A and B are shown apart, each in its own frame.
Chain A
Amino acid sequence: MAARRLPFSRFSLWLLFLGCLSLPGAYFYLEQYRQGICLTGLSRDVPWGLYVAQFTFLVGVAASSVVFTLPAHFHQDQRFARLLLPAESLAIGAVFSACLFVFVDLGRPERLWNILLHPHPGSLIFWDMIALPGYLVLTSLLFWLRWNRQRHGIPPPPRTGGLLTLSIFWAFSIHTLTAFLYAGLPGRDFWFSAILAARFLASAFCSGPAILLLLALAGQRFFRLSPDPQALRALLRIITYTMGLTIFFFLLACFSVFYGQIPAQTASFAMLASSSSLPAWCLGTALVSFSLLACPAARAHPVLLPLSLVLVLVSIWLDKGYLFILGGFSRNPFGQAAFYAPSLPEACIALSIYACGALVVSIGLRLGSAEESGLRPEPGRGAASPGRERKGAAGEKFR
């Protein structure tokens, strides 16, 4: 009630909060730029850490918009077509943050353009340098075209079909590229696995939709939105199957390593497993969330459903957002166990990039949350109606 008397809407307060959240990170990044990467927890043995791990996780989230684009475009599935704007908002925010994470990881960020000035197509970073900004532009363009038509009430013209097809293949490519960054390095046994790209894509396709579904569930309170039950059911089915595939693909990698018993390979798994309790948490949350999602009663439960989605995210974040990178460095080239823990400045910088990403996603969701969206406003709620008026007024301003 108090919020209504303020000159700001709750949405602007939320944006302000995200802006404030990114301030400590901005300060620490300036310090990191001045002093060097010594401000992080990285070392000679572990040259990549939290930043590159977040990049890996977020490229997956960005690529997962294909879960909506593919059925909507190739199969004309209306349940998914109505979810395209929120899905694209999430993809834009995720790929934007992923680019920022690559940027803050560089020791010499001002020389970033050297990648294009002295192109070396044999390096996968060169392709990432094209693929990630390209995906950002492509998805933003598709979002803008769709949003523009939606607010004018015009049906989508058929000419964007080519762009949509391109974006579908592009989405698969960006995450395959991410896997190729790791999967072809001699001596990094934890990463050297042919199943890696498939594993990455599978976990991506449950992490992105899980975030969107959680947003939709939370949206009933905070975003004045409620999910279309049809779309919700279809999404849950996808999340369940892809989570199952993620676990299955991981077990396939484990089979080769532990049945093969090549010391360097088993050691990289064993050293990671013994480094902390996090690998156990990662596996545990994966198994529990999959069991919950596979159980129809839990899927319909108002508490167990969000809980299982949160567990999906915790598990995949622990995997791609932390442990997977450490696994590659857990055993250094001299056969010794390597240690890494992110420093406080490093964590603050990561948090501020997530805040920037959340800012982009919030604006995208706000713009896209119109009647036509699958996340449609709930007419019955008392708190919803004044909000809708305000949103209408904001919509006028954008015209």
Chain B
Amino acid sequence: MILSRRRFLGLAAAAVTTLPAAAAAAVADFGGRCRTSPGALAAGQWAMVIDSRRLARPERRAAVIAACHAFHNVPDLPGPRRVAWIEQHSFAETFPGLPSAFSPANLADRIFLTLCNHCRNPPCVRVCPTGATFRRQDGIVGMDSHRCIGCRYCMAACPFGARSFNFEDPRPAAVNPVYPLRERGVVEKCTFCAGRLSEGRLPLCVEAADGAIAFGDLADPASSVRSLLAENFAVRRNPGLGTEPGVYYIL
């Protein structure tokens, strides 16, 4: 049988429209299950409490940032296209709407560390079209940069400015061969050092802060973060948005 051109074009059009859908159905993943290694730190909901009073000195904050960025090979790009997992911002910038004209001077001038809040209800995860960013059972909002298509919807959705995009190749910045480097065109952010937790170690910023940052399980009443939150009034960034941030600040 000889296909007429018209019939061939019709068949080709039908194939082009149905094949991607069939391929997608064939290889669709059914949700990743995570395994924990022996000796790994586990939690119901990881959370962080930052005592901003004890990080008032600039060199202490710089040490925390350097520890994170050096290990994770975060490129040092200045300006509006910077990549940052943990940053410094003023009181008014960190908590817009919170300061008044009569706030104490030591608070108004204080600089705060800002990072991914690992929200319990993360909008970035909701909007990601590929599941490249996901919320784990222990509350960590992870990032698979190999699946990321670089649409930057998560950056538009994050109300905390915690996400960075690799506008250019970060490669010359590589110094630490232990940690994988990202590529241009993908989004990255703080992972609460998920890799270190699986080795039984605390996040780098927690170690570098020398007690000024506590990290623990919010679901465990005996955890360090729970006792800190019970003893001190702590605030979260923009809690009214309902994202349930997991990073608390003692003012």
A interface residue numbers (CB < 8 A to B) = 35-38, 42-45, 47-48, 105-109, 111-120, 122-126, 129, 133, 137, 141, 181, 185-188, 263-264, 328-329, 332-336, 339
Cα A188 to Cα B165 in complex, Å, equals 19
Chain B residues with Cβ below 8 Å from A38 are 81, 167-168, 184
- CB-contact partner of B242 in A42, A117, A185, A186, under 8 A: A186
Report the minimum CB–CB distance from A204 to chain B (whole Å). Answer: 21
B-side contacts of A188, CB under 8 Å: 156-157, 159
A331 to chain B, nearest CB (A): 9
B40 an interface residue at 8 Å Cβ cutoff? Answer: no
B residues with a Cβ closer than 8 A to A are 13, 17, 20-21, 23-24, 27-29, 79-82, 89, 92-94, 96-97, 123, 126-132, 147-153, 155-161, 164-169, 183-187, 238, 241-243
Q: Out of B80, B129, B131, which one reaches A44, CB within 8 Å?
A: B80
Do residues B17 and A113 form an inter-chain contact, with CB atoms below 8 A? no
Q: Separation in Å of the A65 CB from the closest CB of chain B?
A: 19
Closest to A181 in B: B153
A116-B147 in contact given A36-B166, A107-B186 (Cβ < 8 Å): no
Q: A111-B147, A339-B80 given as contacts; is B152 within 8 A of A48 (CB)?
A: yes
Chain A residues with CB under 8 A of B17: 133, 137
Residue of A nearest to B6 (CB): A148
CA distance A334 to B80 in the complex (A): 13
Are A119 and B28 within 8 A (Cβ)? yes
Please indicate the chain A residues that have their CB under 8 angstroms from the CB of B127 in the complex.
122-125, 185
Picked from A37, A105, A108, A124, the residue with its CB within 8 Å of the CB of B167 is: A37
**A118 B167 Cβ-Cβ under 8 A:** no
Contacts of B94 in A (CB 8 A): 334
A-B contact pairs, 24 of them (CB 8 A): A35-B168, A36-B166, A36-B169, A42-B167, A44-B80, A44-B82, A107-B150, A108-B185, A113-B23, A115-B130, A116-B20, A116-B23, A116-B24, A118-B147, A120-B128, A120-B130, A123-B126, A125-B153, A185-B127, A187-B158, A263-B97, A333-B161, A334-B96, A336-B93
- Taking A123-B128, A137-B13, A335-B93 as contacts, is the C-beta distance between A106 and B150 under 8 angstroms? yes
Given contacts A47-B165, A185-B156, contact A119 B24 (CB under 8 A): yes
Q: Do B186 and A120 touch across chains, with their CB atoms under 8 A apart?
A: no
Contacts of B123 in A (CB 8 A): 185-187
Residues of A within 8 A of B169 (CB): 35-36
User: Which residue of B13, B148, B164, B184 is within 8 Å of A36 (Cβ)?
Assistant: B184
Residues in chain A near residue B24, CB distance under 8 A: 113, 116-117, 119
Determine if B165 and A112 form an interchain contact, defined as CB atoms under 8 angstroms apart.
no
Tell whether, in the assembled complex, residue A118 and residue B96 are in contact, meaning their CB atoms are under 8 Å apart.
no
Question: Across the interface, do A334 and B147 meet the contact criterion of CB distance under 8 Å?
Answer: no
Q: Tell me the bound Cα distance from A122 to B124 in angstroms.
A: 11
Q: Contacts A120-B131, A335-B92 given; 18 further ones with Cβ under 8 A?
A: A43-B79, A43-B81, A44-B164, A45-B161, A47-B155, A47-B156, A48-B152, A105-B151, A107-B187, A117-B130, A119-B24, A120-B130, A124-B127, A126-B129, A181-B153, A186-B123, A186-B241, A334-B93
Q: How far is the CB of B136 from chain A (nearest CB, A)?
A: 16
**Residue in B29, B167, B169 whose Cβ sees the most chain A Cβ within 10 Å:** B167
On whether the beta carbons of B147 and A114 are closer than 8 Å, the reply is: yes
Q: Which of A116, A125, A185, A333 contacts B160 (CB 8 A)?
A: A333
Q: Do A118 and B29 contact each other (CB < 8 Å), given the known contacts A37-B150, A105-B151, A137-B17?
A: yes
- Chain A residues lying within 8 Å of B89, measured Cβ to Cβ, are 334
Check B166–A107 contact: CB distance below 8 A: yes
* List of B residues within 8 angstroms of A35 by Cβ: 168-169, 184
User: In whole angstroms, how far apart are the Cα atoms of A129 and B153 in the complex?
Assistant: 14
Q: Is the CB of B97 within 8 A of A264?
A: yes
Given A106-B151, A116-B24, is A334 in contact with B126 using a C-beta cutoff of 8 Å? no
Cα distance A114–B185 when bound, in Å?
A: 15
Kindly report which residue of chain B lies nearest to residue A43, judged by CB atoms.
B80
Contacts of A119 in B (CB 8 A): 24, 28
- Do B241 and A106 touch across chains, with their CB atoms under 8 A apart? no
Interchain CB contact (< 8 A) of B241 among A118, A181, A187, A332: A187
Task: State the Cβ distance, A345 to closest chain B Cβ, in Å.
Answer: 13
A113 CA / B131 CA spacing, docked (Å): 13
Q: How far is the CA of A122 from the CA of B157 in the complex (A)?
A: 13
* Minimum Cβ distance to chain B for residue A237 (Å): 37
Nearest chain A residue, comparing its CB with the CB of B157: A185
Residues of chain B within 8 A of A105, CB atoms compared? 151-152
